[in-house]
Chains A and B, each alone.
Chain A
């Protein structure tokens, strides 16, 4: 077992006014403080496990009802209503009792996303409490936290936190006298982005290759080890104690009507103060990028922003005022995704940026279905030759004919995700691609983005 990390990270977590009624701090309490993860701190300073006590006094269906009333939508990418998802779990009948599982998706592999890590680093007990409440609401027997393999130190920390909770009687048999037994296990992934997809995650959790499953059956019918399972993101589960504590209606009052509560936005790329900012949903993108993250770090104009993790189609300057919520982003042709905001200035070569992302998808494709496995490789090859000054006149049409053959024709959404950046870049920055093909060189003169392979 490795040591629990003692080095604080140096990114921004806060801003002026954070923690006030306008910008409530639910998810990032105590970030930056290395002792914040302990049970003692959580109980004394952050009203720890009060929500669990409250939930255990309610019947499971009303707990789910409270989450439904809060309007909470999944923070993992798709924004699916959490309360509704929980109701898909089958209930015990007289003929049949089920073994149900709740699984926390802590795979965090989407480039641009680094929020779940902060929750596990500084507030693991908030996640544990959230899983307990979810476990109670769905009457689960066991919970799993699937953490990506690179976060070994976080797994050690989670294990330590789980042990603390066990010793205090929050986990194990007859929790707080309720007569309900529940426990948590961590599971370490081994470096595959696709394991973030929920059915691939379940395969990996069972010790198999992380290949997405054919749906249906959906996890709520046949999930981990063939049993009914609900998969939720870390941030989603860590929001649950907050909802129980302040009440679903109060939570729903934050944000915009169909997009409630707060979420953690991660800003990366060329900004002055990259980091994590928790904001109510519906906050405008340019407020986050310019006012909180300090605007462009290179002093240039911002050319493009990817608003929701690298799978989200990119936005150009005319859309920087977009409110950051699921519906508004969708209306502008992109998605709120995982809340990872990637900022690129006008010196960034869009062709090269897209090439880098496509290389990522081609590398991470699990290889199960042909459109994704072959298509991503073809896209990478075509983009590679354009970037290298060997582009051919028909290449843009070739790309435009390839993406519709991948998009929505694959087993899992990775294929669609791979098409998002290319399609949006071609639509908004077509002249850069054309310049590359025509002049065999780059439209801009920024530093290069790919190691060893570029014409710059």
Chain B
């Protein structure tokens, strides 16, 4: 491909193999770059900074797309292929943008025995999102999660990386959605 592509934006991530023109590349802020370099010094081997660096890049750029991966590889001076392999292996690195509020409902067995699957379906209907997709207004994304380590208090819900809601039922679901809209829950990446 020899004509430059528009930059990778939150609604149009790049496919693997696609290239960005040099001028369109987004880079991480100097602060994040500094944090990543500090991480590299913290562990016995700088490769170990790959995961934490991807978290930082994901927080700043909103998702861990190719841009984020390339930046991490550049800053740590490690192969891009390694970063790509890592970023695509783990489910918590999102190659595509998620909503401002990324909701994960556990539907594994213990939670399902207490109604997790039904709550997940309700959530999708209420917020008008497809599982794995983002709502039209960009606010919500909903995902079925595997065990979140709250089996005794299931069904449980995680919002972004912060909040857990346990013993979830319809009333609590409403309360969480309301709290998000009120701004009481930190947005994705914040």
State the A residues within 8 Å of B (CB).
Answer: 2, 9-11, 108-114, 116-117, 142, 148-153, 185, 187-193, 204-210, 224-225, 266-270, 274-276, 306, 310, 340, 342-344, 348, 353, 356-357, 360, 363-364, 366, 447-452
The answer to whether B90 touches A360 (Cβ under 8 A) is no
CB distance from B101 to the nearest CB of A (A): 15
Residues 85-99 of chain B, each 1 if its beta carbon lies under 8 Å from chain A, else 0:
110011111000000
Residue with the highest number of chain A CB atoms closer than 10 Å, among B82, B149, B152, B161 = B152
| B90, B93, B109, B120: the one within 8 Å of A111 (CB) | B109
The answer to whether B43 touches A190 (Cβ under 8 A) is no
Output the nearest chain B residue to A150 by Cβ-Cβ distance: B148
The answer to whether B146 touches A205 (Cβ under 8 A) is no
A224 to B44, CA, bound (A): 10
Interface set, chain B 14-67, CB cutoff 8 A to A:
42-45, 47-52, 54-55
The answer to whether B146 touches A109 (Cβ under 8 A) is yes
The answer to whether A113 touches B112 (Cβ under 8 A) is no
A270 to B115, CA, bound (A): 10
The answer to whether A117 touches B149 (Cβ under 8 A) is yes
The answer to whether A447 touches B55 (Cβ under 8 A) is no
A11-B153, A190-B91, A451-B121 given; A270·B146 CB < 8 A: no
The answer to whether A353 touches B109 (Cβ under 8 A) is yes
| A2, A142, A185, A208: the one within 8 Å of B47 (CB) | A208
| A205, A275, A310, A366: the one within 8 Å of B109 (CB) | A310
CB-CB < 8 A to B54: which residues of A? 190
A269-B113, A451-B121 given; A112·B90 CB < 8 A: no
CB distance from A352 to the nearest CB of B (A): 9
9 A-B interface contacts by CB (under 8 A): A2-B161, A2-B186, A206-B48, A207-B47, A207-B49, A267-B152, A268-B154, A449-B113, A450-B117
A450 to B112, CA, bound (A): 7
The answer to whether A344 touches B113 (Cβ under 8 A) is yes
Additional A-B contacts beyond A206-B47, A207-B51 (8; CB < 8 A): A112-B110, A189-B90, A208-B47, A208-B82, A225-B48, A274-B151, A353-B112, A451-B120
A187 to B52, CA, bound (A): 8
CB-CB < 8 A to A190: which residues of B? 51, 54-55, 90-93
B10 within 8 A of A: no
- Minimum-distance CB pairs A-B, first 5: A190-B90, A207-B50, A191-B92, A111-B147, A268-B151
A348 to B47, CA, bound (A): 46
CB-CB < 8 A to B118: which residues of A? 447-448, 451
The answer to whether A109 touches B149 (Cβ under 8 A) is yes
| B121, B147, B152: the one within 8 Å of A11 (CB) | B152
CB-CB < 8 A to B114: which residues of A? 269-270
A131 to B166, CA, bound (A): 30
CB-CB < 8 A to B55: which residues of A? 188, 190
The answer to whether A192 touches B91 (Cβ under 8 A) is yes
B135 within 8 A of A: no
CB-CB < 8 A to A451: which residues of B? 107, 117-118, 120-121, 131, 144
B108 within 8 A of A: yes
The answer to whether A113 touches B153 (Cβ under 8 A) is no
B158 within 8 A of A: yes
B150 within 8 A of A: yes
Residues 120-148 of chain B, each 1 if its beta carbon lies under 8 Å from chain A, else 0:
11000000000100000000000010111
CB-CB < 8 A to A225: which residues of B? 44-45, 48
CB distance from B129 to the nearest CB of A (A): 13
A344 to B109, CA, bound (A): 10
A192 to B108, CA, bound (A): 14
The answer to whether B92 touches A149 (Cβ under 8 A) is yes
| A188, A205, A210, A342: the one within 8 Å of B113 (CB) | A342
CB distance from B157 to the nearest CB of A (A): 12
CB-CB < 8 A to B91: which residues of A? 190-192
Output the nearest chain B residue to A340 by Cβ-Cβ distance: B151
CB-CB < 8 A to A269: which residues of B? 109-110, 113-114, 151
| A113, A363, A449: the one within 8 Å of B117 (CB) | A449
The answer to whether A111 touches B151 (Cβ under 8 A) is yes
CB-CB < 8 A to B149: which residues of A? 108-109, 113-114, 116-117, 148, 150-151
A207-B49, A268-B152, A449-B109 given; A10·B147 CB < 8 A: no
A190-B91, A193-B146 given; A450·B107 CB < 8 A: yes
CB distance from A418 to the nearest CB of B (A): 13
CB distance from A104 to the nearest CB of B (A): 15
CB distance from B148 to the nearest CB of A (A): 6
Output the nearest chain B residue to A117 by Cβ-Cβ distance: B149
CB-CB < 8 A to B112: which residues of A? 353, 356, 449-450
CB-CB < 8 A to A208: which residues of B? 47, 50, 82, 86
A116 to B152, CA, bound (A): 13
Output the nearest chain B residue to A206 by Cβ-Cβ distance: B48
The answer to whether B86 touches A207 (Cβ under 8 A) is yes
CB distance from B96 to the nearest CB of A (A): 15
The answer to whether B107 touches A152 (Cβ under 8 A) is no
B170 within 8 A of A: no
Output the nearest chain B residue to A344 by Cβ-Cβ distance: B113
Output the nearest chain A residue to B46 by Cβ-Cβ distance: A207
The answer to whether B158 touches A274 (Cβ under 8 A) is no
The answer to whether B47 touches A10 (Cβ under 8 A) is no
A343 to B114, CA, bound (A): 11
